Amino acid sequence: MRFREFQTLIPEYETGTPRSSKIEQVMRQAGYGFLGGGAEATVWSHPRLPRVIKIIMPDDWRGDNRVAMATFQRFLKLTQSYPSPHWPRFHEMQDEHGRSSVFAEFRVGDRQYMQIAMERLEPLTADEQEIIEIMSEDVAQGRSVEHFTGWGDDSNKWIDENRWQLPSLWKAMRAAHRKTNWDYDWDLHGGNVMRRQDGTYVIIDPWIRWK
């Protein structure tokens, strides 16, 4: 489920359908504003709440929503089995059957959707994205954090400023990479990592599944 935060030129989430219009209407009536959208999802924010709502709603050409939903559930399972400060903080909601869960499924017409409440995070700068992508490639090639070095003044400065979290971030990346397989491709690019206000980097979506 690729979610390059709000930088996709061609929307890969469902838009312009009666179902998406209904979802937009409900969200705006609840006080949420459209924050952005990426591959397979839209994101909504509320001015009085420190969280965002992410709605998994792939465009029709991507097929069944259940693929994207299963990808998120797989990621959630990883965050629960391997605690790390570099996973998002999720908030429980009630689904359409009144059950409490981190994700809530709902139906519009003949299609199932999923919404997730999570902490509000900040996007990375272009330089930060580049560094994260180099780290991601190093992790995929089996390198250790001890061998991660800068390649210029800016990167060296970033490494010095983030030594406090580099080992734990590297371990979280490795934990996610170990879960890649024939169905789930490694997709940890700069748009799939965000940042808390305290500077902690947060992995929001490490894989992509095509079918």
Residue in the structure block whose two tokens are 């371990």:
171
The CA distance from 173 to 87, in Å, is 10
CB 100 within 8 A of CB 182: no
The CA distance from 194 to 128, in Å, is 10
| Strands, E assignment, the chain | 33-38, 41-45, 51-56, 90-91, 93-94, 100-101, 103-108, 111-119, 185-186, 193-195, 201-203, 207-208
Mean local confidence (pLDDT), 76-93: 95
Beta partners for residue 43, in sequence order: 36, 54
Q: Is the pLDDT of residue 50 over 60?
A: yes
Q: Is the pLDDT of residue 2 over 50?
A: no
pLDDT at 5: 40
pLDDT at 3: 37
Phi and psi torsions of 62, nearest 5°:
-80, -10
Q: How confident is the model at residue 4 (pLDDT cuts 50, 70, 90)?
A: very low
pLDDT at 201: 98
The CA distance from 177 to 206, in Å, is 8
- pLDDT tens for each residue of 112-142: 999 999 999 999 999 999 999 999 999 999 9
Q: Is the pLDDT of residue 82 over 90?
A: yes
CB 91 within 8 A of CB 51: yes
pLDDT at 11: 58
Burial of 24 (0-12, 13-18, 19+ CB in 10 A): middle
CA 177 to chain centre: 15
- pLDDT tens for each residue of 70-79: 999 999 999 9
Q: How confident is the model at residue 8 (pLDDT cuts 50, 70, 90)?
A: very low
Average predicted confidence (pLDDT) for the chain:
89
The CA distance from 168 to 145, in Å, is 10
CA dihedral sign of residues 72, 13, 114, 64: negative
Q: How confident is the model at residue 64 (pLDDT cuts 50, 70, 90)?
A: low
pLDDT at 7: 41
Q: How confident is the model at residue 208 (pLDDT cuts 50, 70, 90)?
A: confident
Q: How confident is the model at residue 204 (pLDDT cuts 50, 70, 90)?
A: very high
Alpha helices for 82-193 (secondary structure H): 126-140, 153-161, 166-177
Mean local confidence (pLDDT), 14-36: 95
pLDDT at 62: 54
pLDDT at 76: 94
